[in-house]
């Protein structure tokens, strides 16, 4: 039994027991309220730079399987739970969560009062933290957390992307170029389901190179960190406005917001979970959506003559979706590809294909 300590930059300490790799990791600590789907969460590239705590206390119950990863490896900096299940019980399970985390060198801790931690984040905001199985000096750990980089202004995208461009579903009819900022596999699967052939390109790809591929549409993926640190991608998107149908999700939506001249800001504590109600302002219907973002496009900074607000979050009235009034461009802050979470918004991939017809 190895002890582990989670130390926050404001001096708060949580002690538990390690169930992953040994070592020390820095990151901003965030909570996720999804009750299932830890495998997808751990492997979501958007969590680069973040230590994730699950509010649901019993984690690991169904193990880890070969199908549910959202990228080629886990990206969370650290993983914090109340009780880790040493048994994995599910017909698809291939290994326990603990073994999987050790294999991928992810530091994880159980035995933490995750509700107390969540309350602390809700009140103090998302904090820089360190999770360590090696250092026992609390003061040193707090100093390390304080001195860490945090998320603001950092380009984390370059740390999660696929190094080379690749094709997905080569038999698809509609040719989509997806700028990989940390793309989740289920976005690709959903596009493929809608008869798209996707060329996934690194974010350094220029607008000219993209146009040379002669695509029917451009897709801007999710990804980690601060959109303000990604001006080169914003510029690429800006140059393609008016030239291609564009669909953006999460970070892709934030970058589009900036490309439209809007501003983004950091939420006190982000939306991470699978139960956020989002209203479609046209139909007035509500979708239960999956969310994973710490930054947000400021509604007030968008030029309403060009941009229509299409969706809002009913919990806090923040922007959830927008579209260009004249051009075939739209984006959402939430995750229609779900994984993990409700699939109410899957139809948006079909809407994107409609724009390419």
Residues 203-222 close enough to bind another protein by CB under 8 A: none
Give yes or no for residue 274 binding another protein (CB under 8 A): yes
Beta bridge partners, 278, equal 287, 313
Give yes or no for residue 65 binding another protein (CB under 8 A): yes
Q: Which is nearer to another protein, 268 or 325 (CB)?
A: 268
Which tokens go with 175? 């040719």
Q: How far is the CB of 90 from another protein (least distance, A)?
A: 6
Beta strands in 55-103 (DSSP E): 58-59, 78-80, 83-84
Which tokens go with 78? 């650290």
Residues 123-182 close enough to bind another protein by CB under 8 A: none
Q: How far is the CB of 31 from another protein (least distance, A)?
A: 8
Burial of 202 (0-12, 13-18, 19+ CB in 10 A): middle
- Rounded CA separation 298/355 (Å): 26
Residues 90-109 close enough to bind another protein by CB under 8 A: 90-92
Query: Cβ neighbours of residue 342 under 8 Å, at least 6 residues apart?
Result: 274, 275, 287, 288, 289, 290
Q: Catalytic residue numbers?
A: 250, 335, 337
Give yes or no for residue 330 binding another protein (CB under 8 A): no
Burial of 182 (0-12, 13-18, 19+ CB in 10 A): buried
Give yes or no for residue 268 binding another protein (CB under 8 A): no
Give yes or no for residue 267 binding another protein (CB under 8 A): no
Give yes or no for residue 82 binding another protein (CB under 8 A): yes
Helix (H, G, I), strand (E, B) or coil at 205: coil
Q: Which is nearer to another protein, 36 or 299 (CB)?
A: 36
Q: Which stretch binds another protein (CB under 8 A): 18-26, 238-246, 281-289, 294-302?
A: 281-289
Output the CA–CA distances (angstroms, integers) from residue 50 to 219, 302, 350, in the order listed.
25, 29, 32
Query: Cβ neighbours of residue 298 under 8 Å, at least 6 residues apart?
Result: 262, 263, 264, 265, 319
Residues 27-56 close enough to bind another protein by CB under 8 A: 31, 33-37, 39-40, 55-56
Please select the residue that binds another protein; options are 140, 268, 285, 325, rule is CB under 8 A: 285
Residues of this chain that interact with another protein (CB under 8 A) are: 31, 33-37, 39-40, 55-58, 61-62, 65, 67-68, 82-83, 85-87, 89-92, 113-116, 118-119, 122, 273-277, 279, 284-286, 288, 314-315, 338-343
């Amino acid at each position: 039994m190895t002890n582990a300590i989670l130390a926050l930059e404001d001096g708060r300490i949580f002690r538990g027991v390690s169930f992953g790799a040994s070592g020390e990791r820095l990151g901003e600590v965030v909570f996720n309220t999804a009750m299932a789907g830890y495998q997808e969460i751990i492997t979501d590239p958007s969590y680069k730079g973040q230590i994730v705590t699950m509010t649901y206390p019993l984690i690991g119950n169904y193990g880890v399987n070969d199908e549910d990863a959202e990228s080629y490896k886990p990206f969370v900096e650290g993983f914090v739970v109340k009780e880790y299940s040493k048994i994995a019980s599910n017909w698809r399970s291939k290994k326990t969560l603990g073994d999987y985390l050790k294999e991928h060198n992810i530091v994880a801790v159980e035995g933490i009062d995750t509700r107390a931690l969540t309350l602390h984040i809700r009140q103090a905001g998302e904090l820089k933290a360190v999770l360590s199985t090696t250092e026992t000096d609390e003061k040193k750990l707090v100093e390390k957390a304080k001195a860490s980089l945090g998320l603001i202004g950092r380009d984390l995208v370059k740390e999660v992307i696929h190094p080379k461009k690749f094709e997905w579903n080569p038999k698809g009819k509609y040719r989509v170029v997806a700028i990989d900022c940390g793309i989740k596999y289920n976005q690709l699967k959903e596009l493929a389901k809608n008869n798209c052939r996707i060329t996934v390109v690194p974010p350094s790809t220029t607008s000219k190179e993209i146009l040379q591929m002669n695509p029917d549409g451009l897709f801007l993926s999710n990804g980690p960190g601060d959109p303000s640190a990604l001006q080169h991608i914003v510029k690429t998107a800006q140059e393609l406005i008016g030239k291609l149908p564009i669909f953006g999700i999460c970070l892709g939506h934030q970058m589009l917001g900036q490309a439209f001249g809007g501003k983004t800001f950091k939420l006190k504590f982000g939306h991470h979970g699978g139960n956020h109600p989002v209203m479609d302002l046209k139909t007035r219907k509500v979708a239960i959506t999956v969310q994973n973002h710490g930054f947000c496009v400021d509604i007030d900074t968008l030029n309403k003559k060009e941009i229509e607000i299409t969706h809002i979050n009913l919990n806090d009235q923040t922007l959830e979706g927008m579209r260009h009034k004249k051009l075939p461009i739209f984006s959402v802050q939430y995750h229609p590809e779900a994984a993990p979470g409700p699939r109410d918004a899957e139809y948006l991939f079909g809407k994107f294909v409609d724009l390419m017809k």
